[in-house]
Each structure stands twice: as C-alpha cells, then as structure tokens.
Amino acid sequence: MVSTTTGPLNLSVQLDAAQQAVAASLADLNLKLRHSRRGLISKFFGAAGQQPKGLYIWGTVGRGKTMLMDAFFAGAPDLPKRRVHFHGFMQEVHAARAAHKTDDVIAEIASGVAAKARLLCLDEMQVVDIADAMILGRLFEALWARGVVIITTSNQPPEGLYKDGLNRQLFLPFVKRLQENLHVTHLGDGKDYRLGRLAADETYVTPLGPKADAALDLLWAKLADGEAGLPMALPLLGRTLKVPKAAHSCARFEVSDLTDQALGAPDFLAIAQNFNTVFVDHVTVFKASERNPVKRFILFIDTLYDAGTRLVISAEAAPEALCLSGPHKIEFLRTASRLREMQSQSWWLRGVTQ
C-alpha cells in the first residue's frame, strides 16, 4: 500500500505523490531523531549543529497534513513528546506569561516545554493574533536552543503567516528563521480527501426559509424519537450553559445562541461531550465586521469536528460562501471543508465519541 520509504509511518491509506514526498521527509526525520538520541548524528549526518530542528508541513485543506503528522508522532522514537493544537499551545504560553512576569519569562516557558517534550507537534499553525505574532520568534528560538524538534502543520507557507497583520515587519525575521530551521514541505493543492467521502445527505440545508426549517424539524423528529425537546442547563465550572432544546442526545440551537454571546472553548467542549447530534438553525453569511461571531463559529465547528459530533445545519449559503471577507476568511476554508466532511455518510455512520 504505502511505499517503504514511509516505514515508520504506519498508515493504511494509499498516499498520493505529494503525500509520499512528505512522508519520506518525515521518515528521514525519524531516522535522524533515532541517531541523535544515540549521539550518532554527527557521524552519520555531518558536522555538529546539524541536529534536526523540525519540519513544516503546509498545504490546502483536507490534504492529509494532520494525518501525516499524527502518524509520525505515533511512530516517533521513544523520547518525551507532545502533540497539541497550535492555538491551545499559545493559550498556555500566554497564561504562563501572565502568571510568571519574570524578565526572561519566554526562556522559562521554553525550559518548561523542553523538560516535557523533545519533540513538539503543533497542529494548524495560524497566526492571526498580534500577541502571538510578537512572541513566536523568541519562543521558537528558545525552544530550538533547548533542542526541541518542532513539527507543525499549516494551510499557509511560512511567508504566508500573519499576512496582513499589524506590524508585520516585526514578524518577518521569524518567517526567515522558520525557513532556515524547519524543512518546509508542501502537500500541494491536490485532492481534498474529505470531499471524497461525501454522500448526498441533507444535513446541511440551504437556503434559509420555511423549507429549510421544515427539513430540520423532520430530522429532529427522526433523531429525537419524536420528542419536542426541553430546555436544559449544562453545568460548567462555576456556571451553567443554556441549551434551548435537548432530547435523546440531540441539542438544538439558534446560531445566535452560540455566536452572539461570550462563549468559548469550554462551552463548546461541553456541548460536544454531552450530545451525539447538534442542530444549528439559521446560519447567515458572516460580514467582515462580525469578527467575534465568526471566530466563535470556527471554534464551535472545530470542537464538534474533533469530537466526531454529528451536525445538522440550516444556512443562508454553501459552506464555502459563508465567510468571504474579513480577517478569518482564510481560516474559514478549513471550517468549510470540515462542514462538508461532516455531511458525509461516513461521518454520520462512524462511531460517535460518547
């Protein structure tokens, strides 16, 4: 199935040519990590200072970036390792910065990370936030100085990160260092494997109107065993989250319930953990000015996606047309791809994590 160059990557799918090339780079890195563990790196790979610093995998949505990184992570040599979502990692870093307030807080944070992970896999690197942009350079330098090997996936090449960001010139040295230190590999703009699994299920209903409402009502009736559903309050740390309608492991929200209130990751995680199927009514096209609503919607879909939750949606437009302007339009390409995958028959048929 998979070429022998991908040895340490135990994958049971047929890789395309671009994926095989990335898999070969990952296999090479695996080998180097094994040798560097045994102190053989300079003997086999030239002068000292050639310790691997990592790999940067980029490509469009659904190209298999995460799949390849995860396969590498699973087969990585026996060393302290960590795999984390880039946003989650940066949140931890900001929290540690707020807590520590020492002069060299970045060095301290890097030492903490390095003590627990010689290999750090960061999924979905995306720099939108100026707070992230301004510390990434120092943070990565400090991690590399401590011998941490970084693998990251992204929808953009290093030079595409933080593209129209504020004070981008201050970010450019970091781009250069990423290019110098990480082996940059491109998965191309080929097949989005998520789309391959699509069936004609009507779980994303568009356009909005009485027909769409009736379609969601009908699906609700089927999935909630004919029950109308009752409001409930999900307990969260120190507060509760209102669910307007719940029955038989199904929950139903107006999109505004989710996007127009100050909800965040813990709320969406609680929804994903408590329900098999989530209905969202009346998603409208996001305007450029609706920064927070679109950010929450992206996070909501990411959370449901990661949990394998089933999703039924009524929307004004197709997934790809929901966010065509504003700072999150690139990030939304992934959301659109995920919304498509979440309509596929295989998504609906696979075991739901609960």
Ligand X SMILES: Nc1ncnc2c1ncn2[C@@H]1O[C@H](COP(=O)(O)OP(=O)(O)OP(=O)(O)O)[C@@H](O)[C@H]1O
Please name which of 307, 300, 334 lies closest in space to residue 320, comparing C-alpha atoms: 334
Q: How many C-beta atoms lie closer than 10 Å to residue 48's C-beta?
A: 8
- Of 155 and 277, nearer to ligand X (C-beta) is 155
Q: How many chain residues are in contact with ligand X, going by CB under 6 A?
A: 20
Please name which of 118, 180, 177, 174 lies closest in space to residue 149, comparing C-alpha atoms: 118
Please tell me whether residue 64 binds ligand X under the rule CB under 6 A. Answer: yes
In whole angstroms, give the CA distance from residue 283 to residue 322. Answer: 8
In whole angstroms, give the CA distance from residue 32 to residue 230. Answer: 57
- Mask for 110-149, x = binds ligand X (CB under 6 A): --------------x-------------------------
Q: Give the range of 64-72, 207-215, 274-282, 339-347 binding Mg ion by CB under 5 A.
A: 64-72
Looking at 5, 51, 66, 284, which residue binds Mg ion (CB under 5 A)? 66
User: What beta strand segments (E) does the chain contain?
Assistant: 54-58, 81-85, 119-123, 149-154, 183-186, 204-205, 230-236, 239-247, 250-254, 277-283, 310-315
CB of 142 to ligand X, least distance (A): 27
Q: Give the range of 65-73, 226-234, 240-248, 280-288 binding Mg ion by CB under 5 A.
A: 65-73
Please tell me whether residue 156 binds Mg ion under the rule CB under 5 A. Answer: no
The answer to whether 279 touches 251, Cβ cutoff 8 Å, is: yes
Tell me phi and psi for residue 190, to 5 degrees.
-75, -140
CB of 351 to Mg ion, least distance (A): 20
In whole angstroms, give the CA distance from residue 202 to residue 195. Answer: 15
CB of 292 to ligand X, least distance (A): 22
Looking at 20, 66, 179, 181, which residue binds ligand X (CB under 6 A)? 66
Looking at 31, 67, 84, 330, which residue binds ligand X (CB under 6 A)? 67
Please name which of 63, 72, 70 lies closest in space to residue 16, comparing C-alpha atoms: 63
Please tell me whether residue 21 binds ligand X under the rule CB under 6 A. Answer: no
DSSP helix/strand/coil, 250: strand
CB of 110 to ligand X, least distance (A): 26
Looking at 32, 35, 65, 340, which residue binds ligand X (CB under 6 A)? 65
CA dist list (Å): 349 to 201, 275, 343 = 12, 16, 11
For binding to Mg ion (CB under 5 A), which residues are involved?
65-66
For binding to ligand X (CB under 6 A), which residues are involved?
13-16, 19, 59, 61-67, 124, 153, 155, 193-194, 334, 337
